[in-house]
Amino acid sequence: MTFSRFKNLPPYPFPRMRSLLAGITPEDTSAALNMSLGEPQHQVPSFVTDILHDQRASYNKYPPVQGTEAWQQAVSGWLIRRNGLSAGMVGSENLVPLNGSREGLFSIGLVAIGRQKNGQIPLVLSPNPFYQPYAGAAQSAGAETLYFSGDAALDGMPDYASLPEDVLRRTALAFICNPSNPEGGLASRDYLAQMVGLARKYDFTLVGDECYSEIYDDKPPVGLLDVCAELVRRGLGNSDNPFQNVVVFNSLSKRSNLAGLRSGFMAGDPDIVRETLRMRTYGGAPLPLPVQAASAAAWNDEAHVEANRALYRRKFDLAERYLGGKFDFTRPAGGFCLWLKVGDGEKACRELWRAAGIKCLPGVYLARPDADGHNVGMPYIRLVLVHDEKLLEPALEKIAITL
């Protein structure tokens, strides 16, 4: 048998990292830490585990694909509060429950990408560096991916508007990650409005990956649904479908330290939502009822999110203390990643593992080379600030010394 659909997917970063470090024995493990995996280590909200236990009897029921009414109300309420939307602007017709945002980001390609776009092979626009499921979304639907490095003038966001018209006419799907991962940059309101206009002009689906939106240093990232609503208020959108051509993804993994719960959502254009639910009726995995109940409670509570954000700010302070002024260190405006320019990312990762037992990801594993063979991630490493301060401080000190 021949399996070829996914043969051109970029290699996944973590197996590459394991191969890179294979055969190296750390010399000093006093500051050993895995800083490669963005898995939050903060405390799980106790009310979540209480609800999972209390609702355990409902595991014997098939859950609704579109979510329970309580889940819908909690998520729509959060989206309305978070984005300053009018009451009733988000309802069940705008929502899809997901087993984490990764599942939805991958499968959106099956919904939004046709066999052809204007008589050509469809194109997917992706930031570079990028989250690997973006590539999977394109590949699964038979599309091609154009990786577009960020523009410094746009706070590191990809300038899709600068692409030639023939490229934009082929585009079926475009991803924006806000805050960006791994750079930690924030998209401006004007930039997002421009991207919405572009999606509508060339009739493609604009995807806002906002899974890091609730971890920020100073100001909250602007939401894509917020921008859509503002365009309607300015007479520049469709009041009958304010989220036309736009969907956003978010989850409880980063916001609520619930990566293992596998609970997220897609929200936006009801036409895209309808087709997504149709697909998921045949091949989706609905959230179990206890998970939906616990998720609804998490979306309804902001106290644990504010406490979570405060912990990350303290870790940003630590990182700045030890790495400020080195390696082009920039305090992340959003997210929990450090993107350090070290000259040779692979060499630096091997050295950190050899000298201190600290794992990180080479930036080259998170990006793709351009037409000239240059990989924008080559000189960088990515470190994640997910551990508590007691573990993190000696590791940051060791990183500064070693590099």
Distance CA(266)–CA(277), nearest Å, equals: 10
Provide the domain count of the chain.
Answer: 2
Residues 339 and 288 grouped into a single domain: no
For 111, 113, 139, 161, 172, the CA distances from 5, given in Å and listed in that order, are 17, 15, 7, 30, 19
Q: Which residue has the higher pLDDT, 36 or 3?
A: 36
Residues 231 and 252 grouped into a single domain: yes
C-alpha torsion sign, points 263, 267, 272, 277? positive
Give the CATH number of the domain where residue 168 resides.
3.40.640.10
Residues 192 and 207 grouped into a single domain: yes
pTM, 2 dp: 0.96
For 78, 108, 237, the CA distances from 88, given in Å and listed in that order, are 12, 25, 17
pLDDT digits (tens, 9 = 90+) for 71-107: 999 999 999 999 999 999 999 999 999 999 999 999 9
Q: What φ, ψ does residue 369 adopt, rounded to 5°?
A: -70, 150
* pLDDT > 90 fraction of the chain, expressed in percent and rounded: 93
pLDDT(8) > 90: no
Q: Which residues contact 65 (CB under 8 A, 6 or more apart)?
A: 97, 277, 280, 281, 284, 286
Residues 227 and 344 grouped into a single domain: no
Distance CA(44)–CA(403), nearest Å, equals: 34
Among 254, 284, 301, identify where a domain stops: 301
pLDDT(209) > 90: yes
Residue type for 284, please? G
Helical H segments across 148-220, by residue range: 165-170, 189-202
Q: Which residues contact 115 (CB under 8 A, 6 or more apart)?
A: 122, 142
Directed axis angle between helix 224-233 and helix 189-202, to 10°?
80
Contact 276, 269 (CB under 8 A): no
Residues 212 and 249 grouped into a single domain: yes
Provide the domain limits for residue 23: 13-38+306-402
pLDDT digits (tens, 9 = 90+) for 221-244: 999 999 999 999 999 988 899 999
Give the CATH number of the domain where residue 365 resides.
3.90.1150.10
Residues 297 and 325 grouped into a single domain: no
